[in-house]
Amino acid sequence: MPNPDKPRDRPTVPEVLPLARVVYARHCGGCCAHVVIDDGNVEQVFANHALDRAREQMHQDCMNLCEALVRMTPTQRKKIYQSYEKRP
Ligand SMILES: [Zn+2]
């Protein structure tokens, strides 16, 4: 069932997994998104911090991933964290 309350700019888990895979292909610990998708800190503050870090580091692949992560719900981020498909 589609959720009518879902904001249209919220990415889905299947959309974000390939972005995570790109980062993991370069960095086995998830690079700037490490705290969220490798350690499982799914609260908003950690996603925001990961995006700040990606921008500081100017890692385009991390920015693509983290910009999606900050728009997701904690439950969605937890699914990314728990998914084996995030790894290449
Ligand atoms: Zn990075």
Given a cut of 90, whether residue 79 has pLDDT beyond it is yes
Please indicate, yes or no, if residue 48 is contained in any of the structural domains. Answer: yes
Number of H helices, E strands in the chain: 4, 0
Element (H, E) at 67: helix 60-69
Question: How many angstroms is it from 65 CA to the middle of ligand 1?
Answer: 10
Instruction: Report yes or no on 40 lying in a domain.
Output: yes
Report the candidate in 45, 21, 50 with the shortest Cα–Cα distance to residue 34.
50
For a pLDDT cut of 70, what percent of the chain falls above it?
91
Residue 19 CA, ligand 1 centroid: distance in Å: 12
Residue 78, both tokens: 């937890």
Give the per-residue pLDDT at 68.
97
Mean pLDDT of 1-8: 61
Kindly give the distance from the C-alpha atom of residue 27 to the centroid of ligand 1, in angstroms, as a whole number: 8
4 falls within a domain: no
67: containing domain: 13-86
Which tens digits make up the pLDDT trace of 39-57? 999 999 999 999 999 999 9
The arithmetic mean of pLDDT across residues 57-86, rounded, is 97
Over residues 65-72, the mean pLDDT reads 97
